[in-house]
Amino acid sequence: MARGRFRLFKFQQPVGEETFEFDRIGGEQRLRTEFAFTDRGERVPLRAELRLSDPFEPRFFEVEGRNARQSTLRESVRWVDDRVVVERAGSTDRYPAPPVAFPISGYAPVAIQAALLRYWQTHGTPAALPTFPARTVRILRRGRTAIDRARSWTRFAIEGLIWGREWVWLDDEGDLAALVSTDAEADHFEAVRDGEEHVLGRCIADAGADGMEALHALSNALGGTRAPLLALVHGRLVDGGDGPAVPDATVIVRGERIEAVGPADRIPVPPGAELLDVGGRTILPGLWDLHAHFQQVEWGPIYLAAGVTTVRDCGNEFEFLTSVRDAIAAGRGLGPRILAAGIVDGDGPYAVGVARVRTPEEAEAWVGRYSAAGFQQIKVYSSMSREALSAVAAEAHRRGMTVTGHVPIGLTALEAVDAGMDQLSHIALVAPALVDGLPPRPTAAQLRTALADLDLTTPTARAALAHLRARGTVVDPTLALLELYTFSSEKPAAAFEPGADRVAAEIAGRIRHPPPASEETRLMERVFRRCVEIVGAMHRIGIPIVAGTDQAVPGHSLHREIELYVEAGFTPREAIQSATSLPARLLGLGADSGTIAAGRRADLVIVDGDPLGRIRDLRRIHRVVAAGVVHRPAPLWGSVGFDPAPAQDPGAR
């Protein structure tokens, strides 16, 4: 019997382990594995069994448990005569058995990936390997990584198990030694063979470098077109300010900057300019996503396809994020401009990452590192003490940075802003400050019930909103993310987010298979609706609201976020400004971008229809201009496996 162990990491932080064993049962080889990690206080266990006949031919596979905090998995695959029988999500499907195929259900467990690599090697290393349930995997040799003076491992990229690409390393015996991936909620995830933990940083660096090559290749293939002098003509201009739309406007772009803009009868087209006839469509400023997590290179084309030309990354692995940001800025990568908020956290079961702050000295060190690397903000996570938060905020403010992020556990939103936070993420974390009589550390059930029944007219609620306004607090509510917690068999995701039907196959499973409707999902619907009301109330009294998604349905959810602001009572113009001029101004870049004016960055979106009259028209993107480069959305969507067809509109809003 052969046994082994992998150490598991998220954001380079050790979170758990996987143990596995190979034995024989009857005439078959059997691989059993137990995979488990703890993520922000929540246990994520997964077990799997794989049986193979000689010589290494799959006959049975079963996996059950969770591969992320919100993702439950129960699937089985059996070879029966000339058929493959797949059971999942309460259904049974039968497929003709191809001569070469392997059963696997995503990035975990790691030992099943090791068996996949062994099967691929022993079956002629095919360019495309069918897998069940119903996918195709591609495995690419990507060079070698020096481990120490005596050893090097072969690096492979795998496509088809997650959205995009992951990396694995095989030793000279062909055994899997390390994995750099993203998990089922799109967070950085790593695994290393027991005893080899010291190589993790080297593997992450090599994966990052390889990712940059992929980003550069995408840029070369889909980098759009740039004219030295470009004239957008016959467009309906919505410039991001408060003035009326200009029905027939011209925008002149020279290089990366807008040279002139205004009514067609006042802005002549310079000789030699390349013309782009907008044909009466609407020209708006490029969109901003103020709560992004650029975890993999595939986000680059997705953001651009959705009209997003600037993102604020709210917490990432330092080396990966700086490499991607700098590659895009230098024109070696495809994606929006990245502004960065460096994540810090304290200690505790909900802590994330390796940037821990418990003392003023640690605050100075981490804020200094992020500042030196050109980060604009610090992002606070959930386990910070009030004392550590105050130290971080003081150091950030001293360096000209602002502080955003989660309301730390044990604090209210009011206490967090009094300790120095300038901006707050997630309306569901801010809203408890409006509730009368909530205990300091409420249970999840207590919190949901309290929020569902929240009365915004109480003195407590009114005083809390007034306090946030007086402090100048900025909120990115991530309503579109919260709405996903309401989906069920009564309310499928596509009913409110049509982009759910367009995502890549690797993402579709967690979006298109809703849980049964229950009292819990109905309660979450009430919580969500109350949070929409809170955002509307904040907006009415002057609390700045900026649009962000925290990923949710990639690309599409920023549009949904803006639509929800209109439901909350914003005018369509105000909702659009929450993703254009307002974030630019609040991040100190109002003179550079966020509006369409002479001297600004040439970040523009051209859409069919009139978003000022019908906010859902913002989804109908015709062209995107990012720093003067013109992109067509359809090839960008298609390059990373999304359906580029326009999403069906379920009804005017």
DSSP 103-121: E--SS--HHHHHHHHHHHH
- The most distant pair of C-alpha atoms in the chain lies apart, rounded to whole Å, by 85
State the pLDDT at residue 652: 32
Region label for 155, one of left (φ > 0), alpha (ψ between -120 and 50) or beta (otherwise): beta
Q: What is the pTM of this model?
A: 0.94
Q: What is the mean pLDDT of residues 344-350?
A: 94
626-640 tens-digit pLDDT: 999 999 999 999 999
H/E element holding 90? Answer: none
* Nearest-angstrom CA–CA distance, 354 and 346: 9
Q: Which two tokens stand for residue 220?
A: 């070369």
Q: What is the mean pLDDT of residues 80-108?
A: 93
What does the radius of gyration of the chain's CA atoms come to, in whole angstroms? Answer: 25
Q: Which of 479, 498, 489 is nearest to 650 (CA)?
A: 498
218 pLDDT band, cuts 50/70/90, is: confident
Instruction: Kindly report the average pLDDT of the chain as a whole number.
Output: 94
Position 485, amino acid: Y
Position 324, amino acid: V
Q: What is the mean pLDDT of residues 143-167?
A: 93
* Nearest-angstrom CA–CA distance, 110 and 50: 12
In the chain, what are the domain boundaries? 2-221
Q: Provide the β-strand partners of residue 312.
A: 339
510-525 tens-digit pLDDT: 787 788 899 999 999 9
1 pLDDT band, cuts 50/70/90, is: low
H/E element holding 507? Answer: helix 505-512
Q: Is the peptide bond before 55 cis (omega within 30 degrees of 0)?
A: yes
3-state secondary structure of 554: coil
Q: pLDDT exceeding 90 applies to what percent of the chain?
A: 87
State the pLDDT at residue 27: 84
25 pLDDT band, cuts 50/70/90, is: confident
Q: Which two tokens stand for residue 47?
A: 């077990």
Q: What is the mean pLDDT of residues 478-496?
A: 94
In the predicted model, is pLDDT for residue 35 greater than 90? yes
In the predicted model, is pLDDT for residue 650 greater than 70? no
